[in-house]
Amino acid sequence: MAPVDTQQVNRHSRQLMGLQIGQIGIGILSQVILLARWSPHLETDLFLAVSGVPWLVSAALLISGLEMALPAAYHRTDDTGHFLNLLFAITLIIALAASFISGGIIFMFAQRADLPIATSLGMGALLGFQILPTALTWLGRGVLVARERLSAARMTLFIGSVVTMLGYLLMGGRPALTLSAVTCGAAVIAAGWTWYLCGGFGFNISRSLLRQFSPELKLLGRAMAGISAAAGLVHLQLLVERGAILSLGTGYVAAFNVAGRGYEALMALVVSGFVMPAYPHWAKNADTQRLLGWSFKRVVGLGTLLSLAAALFALLMLTLIENRWTAGRQTTQAILILLPRFWLLTSLQPLILKHFAQGHTWPPVIGSLLGIGIMVGGAVIFLPQAGLWGMAILATGSVVPGWMILGWRERGSH
């Protein structure tokens, strides 16, 4: 088992946390602008409800796991140039198919919501097309992570956040079209930046390359199947949650989306600083247990501090806002409701990503699937009577199966 340069790991940790802090600030500002300019509005709720459809389709077609699955396969070939050209061609073809499928599904949802045909077509086209540049970004980020250029990989997300914030602030029009256009534009710009950092890719899908890289493609395909399934289940859970939240009243979908995005940003801070620096080394099976201990202690500590800060912020905001700002009050309620799940899910990230890096992708998938089962069953049986308290219990309970499965596996490995 190869030793790891801990100074390099710590340096990557500091760099990634610095970039992530900047991205969090931009993300928070974006969500405030979203609340102030675009919510509460039925079209905003519809946009947020269907925005997960492209990622479900991408997961079904096995491209959403490319970023995390690529590093292990990348290190198993000496001819990385031709291998990446082949992957670029395959990714482009699959992403094109996913774009058309997603656009059609979103169009049907928009029509059921009684939007005009032109608006429905525009919304479907914009949200569907974003898969093309996003898939190329996933490929490029996977290359950067494999090359241990972790800060460059994080920069692509930072650029996308900046573009999203400016779009929410400066653009106008119907929420269904404007928010979709902002999302698509941010994806295109992030893809262009990633292309620049990676040096670009060629297009080659010849039979000789398929034969040459057959072992690497099989390895990559198995890993992507598990990771894509996990990613798809995350977005499926979001759709289930948002469908359940609709019963709580107008504006709560947007409120939970803003709170969820905030927690995603905080989780990304923890993961980027204390999990991703270990990921390339886990992919190479280097100092696995020592790096897991390094990651887990820091993740739990920072996650606890962030949880306390979020709770204090929400309680203070509830006191100040009272009934003067409906969207703000709904969002602070959502922050408190999702807080226990944030702590549990953040603390679980080292185990999840260690499994992903080593190709053991199905245990996290099973945990996610069981969590969705809890959410679906509870939403039908429990939520109508329990309201916001029921949502808090269901959101927290959906993480428990993952802890049980991955914790048991880790304990059994010793």
Q: Which residue ranges of the chain lie beneath pLDDT 70?
A: 1-5, 247, 249, 286-287, 321-324, 379-380, 382-386, 412-414
End-to-end CA distance of the chain: 16
pLDDT in tens, 219-228: 888 888 877 7
Give the range of the structural domain holding residue 102, as residue numbers without chain letter.
Answer: 41-217
Within a domain: residue 212?
yes
251 sits in the region (left: phi over 0; alpha: psi -120 to 50; else beta) called left
Cis peptide before 364 (omega within 30 of 0): no
Spatial contact of 372 and 333, defined as CB atoms under 8 Å apart: no
Q: Which two tokens stand for residue 138?
A: 């996933």
Let me know if residue 12 belongs to a domain: no
Within a domain: residue 36?
no
pLDDT of residue 280: 81
- Kindly state whether residue 326 falls inside one of the protein's structural domains: no
What count of Cα atoms within 13 Å lies in the side-chain half-sphere of residue 95?
A: 22
27 found inside a domain: no
Cβ-based neighbours of 377, under 8 Å, separated by 6 or more: none
In a domain, 10, yes or no: no
Q: Which residues make Cβ contacts (< 8 Å) with residue 218, sequence separation at least 6?
A: none
Helix axes 80-112, 131-146, angle to 10 degrees: 150
pLDDT score, position 359? 73
Q: Count the domains in the chain.
A: 1
Please compute Rg for the chain using Cα positions: 21
Q: Per the structure block, which two tokens stand in for 329?
A: 């009050």
| Residue 138 belongs to a domain | yes
136 found inside a domain = yes
pTM above 0.95, yes or no: no
Model pLDDT, residue 69: 82
pLDDT of residue 1: 52
